[in-house]
Homo-oligomer: A and B are copies of this chain.
Amino acid sequence: MGPGPINADPRVLRAMSAQLLGQYDPAMTAYMTETMGLYREVFRTANEQTLLIDGTSRAGIEAALVSMIEPGDRVLVPVFGRFGHLLREIAERSGAEVHVREAEWGTVFTPEQIEQAVIETEPKILAVVHGDTSTTMAQPLDELGAICREHGVIFYTDVTASLAGNTFETDAWGLDAVTAGLQKCLAGPSGSAPATFSPRAVELINARKSIEAGIRSDGDEVRATPIRSNYFDLAMIFDYWGSKRLNHHTEATSMLYGSRECARLLVDEGIDNAVERHRMHGGAMLEGLRGLGLEIFGDVSHKMNNVTAVYIPDAVSGDAVRGELLDDFGIEIGTSFGPLHGKVWRIGTMGYNARKDTVLTTLAAFEQVLRRAGASVTAGGGVGAAYDFYADEAAGANAGEAAGADVREAELADLERAGL
Contacts and interface: CB of A to CB of B under 8 A. Distances in A.
Interface of A: 2, 4-8, 10, 13-14, 16-20, 22-23, 25, 54-59, 62, 66, 82-86, 88-90, 93-94, 134, 181, 183, 189-191, 212-215, 226-232, 247, 249-255, 258, 326, 332, 337-338
Given A55-B54, A215-B337, A231-B62, A23 B5 contact: yes
Given A90-B230, A252-B56, A19 B23 contact: no
B229 A62 contact: yes
8 A-B pairs with the lowest CB-CB distances in the bound complex, closest first: A191-B252, A85-B214, A85-B213, A189-B254, A17-B17, A82-B214, A190-B250, A22-B332
B19 A231 contact: no
B231 A59 contact: yes
A334 B161 CA distance: 40
Contacts of A59: 54-55, 59, 231
A38 to B, nearest CB: 19
Contacts of A13: 16-19, 254
A20 B105 CA distance: 29
11 contacts: A5-B20, A7-B20, A13-B18, A22-B326, A54-B55, A56-B250, A56-B251, A89-B213, A90-B230, A93-B228, A215-B337
Contact of A56 (B54, B86, B213, B214): B54
Contact of A20 (B8, B85, B215): B8
A84 to B, nearest CB: 8
A165 to B, nearest CB: 17
A15 to B, nearest CB: 9
